[in-house]
């Protein structure tokens, strides 16, 4: 069911995205890129190439699986069954948001096949990849410092499952299954960002146990309050949106501060920032801009492309019906994964896990090279 947003909403989405995206482009090109030595700027290009390969892999996997579902699925009414009772009544859909892909055209069980399948083939594989990679693998000996990243990857996996549920059913309950895991991920990311900032401000050797416990309490209680108000008070989402927005602002501000922080007290001579942190941040901004472009395009032009056929009746409707939101899933999943890599590189470097290195195994990730002891 294509969206048909009113002109005022379209204008708001357009101008907000223009302001935010333009600011990020300027910050990336004028500030961040210039702080990377020319000899290291090739690392950004290699990182972008790695991200592009990841997006292509996820896109192909999503397309193949979607085509299989469409080809082998059926929406035909079985013999002897009342057609009015067999097919889904789209007027019964209760989610407050719908997307550009037409509902229940190819299957009576899955409302949006492309959007549903791409949820599973993007968020979930990246989450499993993160859980497998060292030094935070579930296969390793449990460590409190690594638990936060295990939870971050588990929340990424939950986002994939929740998104699949939403796009399959388009009900209010399934919408909660999609939006609540996003809140939980933001809560975990906020905890990590703030803890990294507190560690930078702490004097060398100082203990932060009380602060960390307070931070755990804040993240847990605020997430619990937002979750409970979302479930039991669906008429008023004020607290949910307030906490959601607070998390998002803290993460963005925190990452910005971390990007330009001094890590010399951890033994960094500048190589960590120049070779790992700044390339990751710069690359992640481009990934965000790609995701933002796809999301805004769907919100603004879906009705024009699929109902008014303003850009033709073949390719443009297919792109908006089958590809654009799936592309959003690819880019947003990689955005979340790369954000975890940024936080992982900072926290691991602060805790002395080793020298952070950038590697690629299906997706760019951070690996810690153990320092060799001097004889």
Counting every residue, how long is the chain?
Answer: 375
Whether the CB-CB separation of 2 and 303 falls below 8 Å is answered with: yes
Q: Is 329 annotated as a binding residue?
A: yes
- Provide the b/e sequence for 195-215 (b: ≥16 CB within 10 Å): bbbebbeeeeeeeeeebbeeb
Exposed, middle or buried: residue 217 (CB in 10 Å: 0-12, 13-18, 19+)?
Answer: exposed
For residues 189 and 186, what is the distance between their CA atoms, to the nearest angstrom? 5
Phi/psi region, residue 366 (left: phi>0; alpha: psi -120 to 50; beta: rest), is beta
Which residues contact residue 73 at a Cβ distance below 8 angstroms, ignoring those fewer than 6 apart?
106, 107, 109, 110, 113
Whether the CB-CB separation of 215 and 195 falls below 8 Å is answered with: yes
Q: Is 112 annotated as a binding residue?
A: yes
Nearest Cα residue to 175 out of 123, 107, 102, 237: 237
Q: Is 325 annotated as a binding residue?
A: yes
Exposed, middle or buried: residue 21 (CB in 10 Å: 0-12, 13-18, 19+)?
Answer: middle
Q: Is 106 annotated as a binding residue?
A: no
Q: Is 87 annotated as a binding residue?
A: no
- Residue 219, φ and ψ in degrees, nearest 5: -65, -45
Nearest Cα residue to 199 out of 156, 130, 261: 261
Question: Strands (DSSP E) along 108-266, which ranges?
Answer: none
- Provide the b/e sequence for 336-365 (b: ≥16 CB within 10 Å): bbbbbbbbbbbbbbbeebebbebeeeebbb
Q: Which amino acids are annotated as binding site, given as ranges?
A: 101, 112, 167, 325, 329
Q: Which amino acids are annotated as binding site for Zn(2+), given as ranges?
A: 167, 325, 329
Q: Which amino acids are annotated as binding site for Ca(2+), given as ranges?
A: 101, 112
């Amino acid at each position: 069911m294509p969206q048909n947003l009113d002109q005022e909403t379209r204008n708001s989405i357009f101008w907000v995205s223009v302001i935010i995206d333009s600011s990020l482009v300027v910050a990336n090109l004028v500030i961040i890129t210039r702080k990377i030595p020319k000899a290291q700027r090739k690392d950004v290009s290699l990182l972008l190439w790695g991200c592009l390969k990841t997006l292509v892999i996820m896109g192909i996997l999503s397309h193949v699986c979607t085509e299989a579902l469409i080809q082998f699925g059926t929406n035909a009414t079985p013999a002897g069954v009342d057609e009015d009772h067999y097919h889904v009544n789209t007027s019964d859909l209760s989610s407050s948001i719908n997307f550009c892909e037409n509902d229940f055209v190819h299957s009576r069980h899955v409302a949006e096949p492309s959007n549903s399948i791409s949820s599973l083939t993007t968020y979930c594989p990246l989450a499993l990849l993160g859980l497998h990679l060292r030094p935070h693998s579930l296969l390793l000996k449990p460590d409190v410092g690594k638990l936060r990243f295990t939870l971050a990857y588990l929340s990424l996996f939950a986002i994939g499952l929740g998104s699949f549920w939403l796009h399959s059913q388009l009900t209010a309950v399934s919408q909660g299954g999609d939006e609540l895991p996003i809140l939980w991920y933001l809560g975990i990311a906020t905890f990590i960002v703030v803890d990294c900032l507190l560690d930078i401000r702490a004097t060398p050797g100082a203990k932060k146990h009380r602060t960390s416990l307070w931070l755990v309490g804040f993240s847990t209680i605020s997430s619990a309050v937002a979750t409970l108000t979302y479930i039991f008070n669906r008429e008023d989402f004020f607290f949910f949106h307030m906490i959601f927005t607070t998390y998002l602002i803290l993460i963005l501000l925190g990452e910005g501060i971390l990007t330009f922080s001094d890590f010399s007290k951890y033994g960094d001579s500048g190589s960590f920032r120049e070779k790992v942190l700044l390339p990751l941040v710069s690359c992640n901004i481009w990934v965000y801009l790609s995701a933002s472009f796809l999301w805004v395009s769907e919100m603004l032009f879906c009705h024009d492309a699929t109902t008014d056929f303003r850009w033709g009746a073949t390719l443009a409707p297919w792109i908006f019906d089958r590809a654009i939101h799936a592309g959003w899933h690819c880019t947003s999943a990689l955005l979340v994964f790369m954000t975890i890599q940024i936080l992982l590189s900072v926290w691991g470097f602060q805790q002395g896990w080793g020298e952070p290195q950038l590697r690629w195994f299906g997706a760019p990730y951070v690996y810690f090279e153990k320092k060799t002891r001097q004889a």
